[in-house]
Structure 1
Amino acid sequence: MGHSQEPDSSVGGALSLKHVVSLLFAASAQYPLIHNVVYHRNDMELATAGLSVLLTNLLTLFKIATFLVYKQDFWRMIWSFRRMHQQSSGRNAGDGRAYVAEANKVASLLGRAYCFSCAATGLYFMVSPILKVIANSWLGTTYVRELPMPLRLPFNYVDSPGYEIGFVYILLVTIVVVTYASAVDGLFISFAINLRAHFQTLQRDIKDTDFALPEQEMQEALKAVVNYHVQLLALSKRLRVMYMPIVFGQFFITSLQVGVIIYQLVANMDSVMALLVYLSFLGSIMLQLFIYCYGGEIIKVESHRVDVSVQLSNWYQASPKLRRSLTFIIQRAQRDLLIKAGFYEASLGNFLAVLNLKTLIRSYQSPLVPLTDMSGCLIVYNSDQID
């Protein structure tokens, strides 16, 4: 009783020029960002400030490239969920409709909220230099204009018109980064929430199945349940394959970003505004990681609960042959359905491990050796510099 999914004829999986141009345009910012980090290699504070933006742009490149590689699979997933939503809407059972319809509402709401959050973060960094220029002009103080993003462009970007050209370039890069990051992350959480709803619908179907029905009717009902389960497992596997590079990049780069931002927080403890900026940036980064960890967690939990739904049903009224079929459902449901990449598993447990700031600070401070100069002021040197 297997299930094979054929792509819908209306799937728009062909690569378009605008997506390739967006990838190349976002990649063009890597060299100026790397140049800025190398240029300030002797100033740890400026280097880490540029490194955090560099890692954010690099992560977005991962997401854009993955989207282009698996664009057809993304469209197949979207059309599969649309078709399944139509099928669930045509059922007589109200519970099935409620699960999927509510999931679509929640996914749409979270997707919009996350998009607005990313847009607000990008807007803040774009508007901040403009507000500084206006404030200093109003106060009559001298102010060196800064670009919204710490990078070094291959032309004079301090004076006009170079500054305006650089500002527009960064604005366009920010729009591309925010658009693709919010779209790819939003699609993942939407897929995960819809999968959870369909797993819950499957659980309800199993618990409501009357195993005292005649043999022929019971076989048809069980066949529909197994086909539904196999379809959900296939969609979960496709989701894992599609997002494997992104999950790996999200965990790896987020771990580096958190370490960099922790350094910035420690180095700017006396500046309230700097703390607010870096804390908001840290929150934005952790929100991205939370989306993947939460999505992976709910898929794992709901797939396991299929086993529980079989045990809560009136399986004892089924014939011995059907009971053996139910054991296959139980055995498959007991296998972990994980969203992972290598040794990184998208789960709330791993999210809390990354969020453990005490461990991060200890691991960050371990390679640092404190020394005190003649005046008693605390100076921190890296251990490899002492050697």
Structure 2
Amino acid sequence: MAHIFKLQEYCLRAMGHSHEPDSSGSGSGSGGGALSLKHVVSLLFAASAQYPLIHNVVYHRNNMELATAGMSVLLTNLLTLFKIATFLVYKQDFWRMIQSFRQMHQQSSRNIRDGDGYGYVAEANKLASLLGRAYCTSCAATGLYFMVSPILKIIANSWRGTTYVRELPMPLRLPFNYVDSPGYEIGFVYILLVTIVVVSYASAVDGLFISFAINLRAHFQTLQRDIRTTDFSQSEHEFQKALKDLVDYHIRLLTLSKRLRVMYMPIVFGQFFITSLQVGVIIYQLVTNMDSIMALLVYLSFLGSIMLQLFIYCYGGEIIKVESHRVDVAVQLSNWYQAAPKLRRSLAFIILRSQRDLLIKAGFYEASLGNFLAICRAALSFITLIKSIE
């Protein structure tokens, strides 16, 4: 279990945040405490790239290929702005979530049953780490290609002795001469720094979400196990105490799940909405560049990166929904019939609450594997549509 706490704290520190929430005790949703200069600079620095990206798309509005190439980068940067802003608003709540999971782990470890009581978390945590590393690697590889490609072109043309108009790593138009020196070097460094901020924040915020989701699944599974192994034939006083512990545990998990939904609501909305637009733009680029192997590899890498990003949220939302429903099944599979009739009614409340959907959603966007597959099917349909038009 300690590994997942390290993953969460690493994600926060990667974005330059302290390791403890402030002591002001400000309410949930406010984020608590004033933002430091580095937090504001991170947001403003990423936002500063929006104007040259939009300017580039507008400038090439009559060239669909160049316009869509710029739009895919524009949408990626816009989505990261959603994530940075949301994280800064709820930055203290992120730390409180980590502290809550740590406290629950410490409380549960006092009553060891099988190892540390969370043996099944190990495999799930491996999956979370794999998804996080795969997504981060995908983003970093795509960003690295964009950064290295113009340098390689300059070197290749220098060897050949041919004239080459220098291009920036990303399709944008800066408000100064970025073709000649020193403007080109300044623009290159600026894009490099923006890329680092975008990749760092996007992968860190997504990594925090999947780690929170897997923590919740682990605790829901622990609750199910506790329900199944409860001795319902014990005395009424002992059973009431055990039932109170189970109900309190269930309420705490429901509260954390709702807090997670509130924290990530803007991100889930932006993720689904912007990813839907990105898929359409990248599919168009793929279909119109079928004759270029290098372009296909880049666009496929870009598409895989954003789809993996969406999958992380859909998978996290799915496991929370499924495991919360299984609490109902755990009660039905327990020895509930050994309890007194009056106490059975108390178990019915747990069943009724577990039958209500516990969803990670924003508006009509729900983070679920069903919606992820729907977007994948829409992407395939879009490919067929474009091919039929050509």
Q: TM-score when scaled to structure 1?
A: 0.89
Provide the residue aligned with 2:6 in structure 1. none
The counterpart of 1:37, out of the listed 36, 57, 67, is: 57
Query: Is 1:247 matched with 2:257?
Result: no
- The equivalent of 2:85 in structure 1 is 65
Residues 77 and 235 in structure 1, CA contact (< 8 A), matched pair in contact too = yes
- Which residue among 369, 376, 380 is the counterpart of 1:358? 380
Tell me if the contact between 2:118 and 2:218 (Cα under 8 Å) persists in the aligned partners: no
Distance 2:105 2:160 in 1: 59
Question: What CA RMSD, in Å, does the superposition of the two structures yield over aligned residues?
Answer: 1.9
Give 1:1-387 correspondences, 5 Å limit. Answer: 10-12=20-22, 13-14=32-33, 15-94=35-114, 96-100=117-121, 103-104=124-125, 106-108=127-129, 110-356=131-377, 357-361=379-383
Q: Report if aligned partners of 1:114, 1:182 keep a CA contact under 8 Å in 2.
A: yes
> What amino acid sits opposite 1:345 in the alignment?
E
Give distance in 1, aligned partners of 2:42 and 2:306.
22
Q: In structure 1, what is the Cα distance between the partners aligned to 2:238 and 2:370?
A: 43
* Other-structure match for 2:9: none
Judge which range, 120-129 or 349-358, deviates more.
120-129
Counterpart Cα distance in 2 of 1:86 and 1:114: 31
Bigger shift: 328-337 or 98-107?
98-107
Structure 2: 5+ residue runs without aligned partners? 1-18, 23-31
Corresponding residue of 1:385: none
User: How far apart in 1 are the matches of 2:153 and 2:238?
Assistant: 73
Indicate if the aligned counterparts of 1:88 and 1:100 stay in contact, CA closer than 8 A.
no
SS of the residue 1:98 aligns to: coil
Report the Cα offset of residue 103 of structure 1.
4.5
Preserved CA contact (<8 Å) 2:287 2:383: no
Q: Deviations over 1:206-260 (max 9, x none)?
A: 0011101111111111111111100000000000001001000000000001111
Runs of 5+ consecutive residues of structure 1 not aligned to the other structure: 1-8, 371-379, 381-387
Q: Which amino acid aligns with 1:162?
A: G
CA contact (8 A) 1:111 1:190 kept: no
Q: Distance in 2 between matches of 1:246 and 1:228?
A: 28
Provide the secondary structure at the position in 2 that maps to 1:255: helix
| Deviation at residue 113 of structure 1 after TM alignment | 4.2
Q: CA deviation at 1:85?
A: 2.0
Query: How high is the TM-score relative to the length of structure 2?
Result: 0.88
| Paired letter, 1:234 | T
CA drift of 1:32 comes to 0.2
